[in-house]
C-alpha cells in the first residue's frame, strides 16, 4: 500500500475521531453543568444520586463504561443492539466527561467569594442574574486551564472507541500496520493526535487570553 493510499484510508478514521470529539464536547459541557447543579441540590435524593454517578464514573475505566453502555441494554433488557454501536460510544464518552466537567464546575463555583453573592443581593440582582452575570464569567476564567486539560485528554481518549470495534484513526492504524507490517501508520496517527491537541491548546489559550479583562 502506497503512502497516499494509506493516508486516504486513515483520513476516514480521522474524520470519525473528530466526530466523536465534537459530539462529546457538545454533549458533555452542558450535561456537566446539569450534573453539577444536581450535585449541589438541596434535595438529598438528587444530590445523592449525582454523587453516586460521579463516583462510579470517576472510579471505573472509560473502556469498561463503553462496554456497559453497549452490551448493557441486551443483557439487562434483551434489546437488540444492532446499529447501536456509535450511539453507545457517544453516550459513554458524554456521560464520562460530563461527570469530570461537573466536578471542575463545582470547584470553580465553590472557590468564589461568598461576599459577591451578598453584594449582588444588596444591589438588587436575582439569584439567576448573580450567577450568569457575575459568578459564571469568573468561574469560566478560573476553570479554563482544567477544562483545557480534559479536552486534550478527550482527544487521546477517542482511541478507546476501538473497544467497541469502531474504526477510528487508531484502530485503522493498527489494522494497516498489521497487514503491511509497517510502523508508518502509527507515526501518521501520532502526528494526527499531536496536531489535534495543538489546535485545541491554541484555541483554548486564545479564549483564556480574551477573558483576561476579568482578572
**Domains of the chain as residue ranges with CATH:** 3-214 (1.10.3720.10)
Q: Phi first, then psi: give them for residue 167, nearest 5 degrees.
A: -85, 80
Report the distance separating Cα 40 and Cα 184, nearest Å: 49
Spatial CB neighbours of 73, under 8 Å, sequence gap ≥ 6: 79, 81, 84
The confidence score (pLDDT) of residue 106 equals 92
Report the distance separating Cα 117 and Cα 134, nearest Å: 9
The confidence score (pLDDT) of residue 212 equals 66
What are the cell numbers at 151? Answer: 479536552
Report the distance separating Cα 172 and Cα 4, nearest Å: 15
How many contiguous H segments (helices) and E segments (strands) does the chain have?
9, 0
Closest CA to 15 of 174, 164, 177, 161: 161
The confidence score (pLDDT) of residue 215 equals 46
- For the chain, the residue count is 215
Exposed, middle or buried, 11 (CB in 10 Å: 0-12/13-18/19+)? middle
Rounded mean pLDDT for each run of 10 residues along the chain, 215 residues in total: 84 92 96 94 93 96 95 88 91 97 91 78 80 80 90 94 90 88 90 93 87 56
The confidence score (pLDDT) of residue 83 equals 84
Do residues 142 and 111 touch, judged by C-beta distance below 8 A? Answer: yes
The half-sphere exposure of 16 on its side-chain side, counting CA atoms within 13 A, is 22
Q: From residue 60, how far is each of 56, 68, 158 by CA, in Å?
A: 6, 11, 17
Do residues 76 and 176 touch, judged by C-beta distance below 8 A? Answer: no
| DSSP letter assigned to residue 61 | -
Proportion of the chain in helix, strand, coil states, percent, rounded to 5: 85, 0, 15
pTM: 0.89
The confidence score (pLDDT) of residue 79 equals 84
Task: For cell 436575582, name the residue.
Answer: 126
Amino acid at each position: 500500500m502506497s503512502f497516499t493510499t494509506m493516508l486516504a484510508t486513515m483520513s476516514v478514521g480521522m474524520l470519525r475521531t473528530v466526530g466523536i470529539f465534537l459530539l462529546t464536547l457538545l454533549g458533555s459541557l452542558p450535561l456537566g453543568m446539569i450534573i453539577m447543579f444536581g450535585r449541589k441540590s438541596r434535595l438529598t435524593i438528587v444530590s445523592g444520586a449525582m454523587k453516586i454517578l460521579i463516583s462510579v464514573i470517576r472510579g471505573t475505566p472509560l473502556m469498561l463504561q463503553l462496554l456497559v453502555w453497549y452490551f448493557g441494554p441486551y443483557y439487562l433488557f434483551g434489546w437488540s443492539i444492532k446499529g447501536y454501536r456509535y450511539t453507545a460510544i457517544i453516550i459513554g464518552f458524554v456521560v464520562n466527561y460530563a461527570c469530570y466537567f461537573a466536578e471542575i464546575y463545582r470547584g470553580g463555583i465553590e472557590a468564589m467569594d461568598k461576599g459577591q453573592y451578598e453584594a449582588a443581593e444588596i444591589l438588587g440582582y436575582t439569584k439567576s442574574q448573580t450567577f450568569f452575570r457575575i459568578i459564571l464569567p469568573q468561574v469560566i476564567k478560573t476553570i479554563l486551564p482544567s477544562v483545557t486539560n480534559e479536552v486534550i485528554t478527550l482527544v487521546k481518549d477517542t482511541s478507546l472507541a476501538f473497544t467497541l470495534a469502531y474504526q477510528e484513526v487508531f484502530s485503522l492504524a493498527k489494522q494497516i500496520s498489521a497487514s503491511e507490517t509497517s510502523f508508518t501508520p502509527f507515526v501518521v496517527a501520532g502526528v494526527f493526535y499531536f496536531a489535534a491537541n495543538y489546535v485545541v491548546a491554541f484555541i483554548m489559550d486564545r479564549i483564556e487570553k480574551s477573558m483576561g479583562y476579568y482578572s
